[in-house]
Amino acid sequence: MTTIIKNATIIPMTERDKYFKGSILIENGIIRRIGEFDCKDADETIDADSMIALPSFVNAHTHLSMILMRNYKDTCENLQDWLSEIFPIEDKLNDEDIYQSSRLGAAELIQSGCTVFADMYFHAWNTVKAVKEAGMRAIIGQTFMNDAADAEFRIEEIAPRILEAIGDDDKIRLDAAVHAVYTSTPDCYERAAEWVKERGVRLHTHLSETRKEVEDCLREYGKTPVELLDSIGVFNVPVYAAHGVHISRAEMEILKEHNVSVVHNPSSNMKLASGIAPVCEYRKMGINTALGTDGASSNNNLSMMKEMNIAALLQTVANMTPSAARPYDVLAMATICGAKALGLDDRIGTLEEGKDADITLINTADVNMTPVNDPFSAIVFSADRKNVDTVFCQGRKLLENGNLLTIDKEEAIRKTKERWNDILTR
């Protein structure tokens, strides 16, 4: 199968502010040619004259099935107060709840130009089923909480079920997802890190999301969350840490030394009054900084386009300068930096010959995008989900002319509503 995307404004994300007019040849899921070349006959030709072609977005931290709790308990005082309302709902969830809400979440991600997400949630074999149906990529998290004994149970009893669901699909990987220092003991983290090392994967965790988390950790262990995880060797395996809101300069040095990636979640941090992550400092220090939406219950959506916009504006006002988060840098967080955080940058995150064809086409022929002037600014400051025209994942078209091709959107909406109504009666 060959597809040619011709006449596109191409943003390859291979170097700062680079873009050009050209074509992309996709063959068997791989980008075979990119640039200016004669477009010969192909199985399909897309004239992208009014479109920007760029790497599909990477959502490096979410809880996909928490879409069930969208617009629920939105005025809690803080993260801990909010969790006290959410945890009881989560205790009620079953396989069908997770599967149907995962389908809806996948549909929302695709419609906003995203083809891969890093998830942290329960009953994950059902999320795998939805991901396969959607045709997406996913880094599925084997959740860890409590102590080492509980971690061992999850490794022996739950992980095999998720791995069986994944099978030989090379677009899905199982990582460790340790919730946080306030729900997981040090020996739980240690066992999860051992499991990660044994399997050659990565560890995903929440880290220093709130001031209370840091203060409680200092009181219990005499160390901040970063210092605690460093002291027990967690950072000796590849780690991507969500939030990183309350991190000192000395802690940043630890993260940099161990090549820990930080995943910024600006909407969630603002909504739960957690604070503003020092993203500019991370980037100045060379700490890889990705972007995530968090769950739709604390966002309340899964749009990476909206998240980019908020990330840019938040850093602008936090640093009191419009140059704090340049559009190219924010777009990098949503593409190549996310791919690096997840260990996928050899396959996706940039548009280059030999890489997988994970490509999103943004239609600029609309009132909110005219005139374009600067394509990076257009995407970060002007575009929204309605401008996402076509989405490819490994060369397979998941969205065309704004229409989902792999998931029945109306059915996903109806089924998710049914599941939520049922949850409320349990």
| Domain of 364, in residue numbers | 2-55+347-404
Q: 212 lies in a domain? A: yes
Q: How far apart are CA 241 and CA 66, in angstroms?
A: 19
301, 319, 341 — which closes off a domain? 341
In degrees to the nearest 10, what's the CA dihedral of 176, 130, 289, 280? Answer: -130
Nearest to 126 by CA among 60, 201, 64: 64
410 lies in some domain: no
Q: Which residue in 156, 158, 227, 157 sits closest to 186, CA to CA?
A: 227
Please report whether residue 411 resides in a domain: no
Residue ranges of the chain with per-residue pLDDT less than 70? none
Provide the residue type at 139 as one letter. Answer: I
- Please tell me the distance from the alpha carbon of residue 52 to that of residue 233, in angstroms, as a whole number: 43
Per residue in 371-382, pLDDT (tens digit) is 999 999 999 999
Q: Domain holding 250: CATH number?
A: 3.20.20.140
The number of folded domains in the chain is 2
Hey, how many other C-beta atoms are within 10 angstroms of the C-beta on 370?
A: 12
Domain membership of residue 418 (yes or no) is no
Q: Is the domain of 199 the same as that of 91?
A: yes
Query: 293: exposed, middle or buried (C-beta count within 10 Å: 0-12, 13-18, 19+)?
Result: buried
Taking the model in full, what pTM does it have? 0.97
Asked whether residue 297 is assigned to any structural domain, the reply reads yes
Residue 238 shares a structural domain with residue 359 = no
pLDDT at 15: 96
CB distance 102 to 126 below 8 Å: yes
Cβ atoms 279, 315 nearer than 8 A: yes
Secondary structure element (H or E) that encloses residue 58, with its range: strand 57-62
Domain assignment present for residue 26? The answer is yes
Say what the pLDDT of residue 318 is. 94
Mind listing the pLDDT tens digit for each residue in 172-208?
Answer: 999 999 999 999 999 999 999 999 999 999 999 999 9
Question: Do 165 and 195 lie in a common domain?
Answer: yes
How many whole angstroms separate alpha carbon 99 and alpha carbon 169? 18
Structure tokens at 144: 């860890």
Q: What is the CATH number of the domain that holds 356?
A: 2.30.40.10
So what's the pLDDT on residue 47?
96
pLDDT at 202: 98
What separation in angstroms does the CA of 146 have from each of 36, 179, 189, 191, 299?
55, 9, 9, 11, 26
Chain centroid, CA 377 distance in Å: 21
State residue 83's pLDDT score. Answer: 85
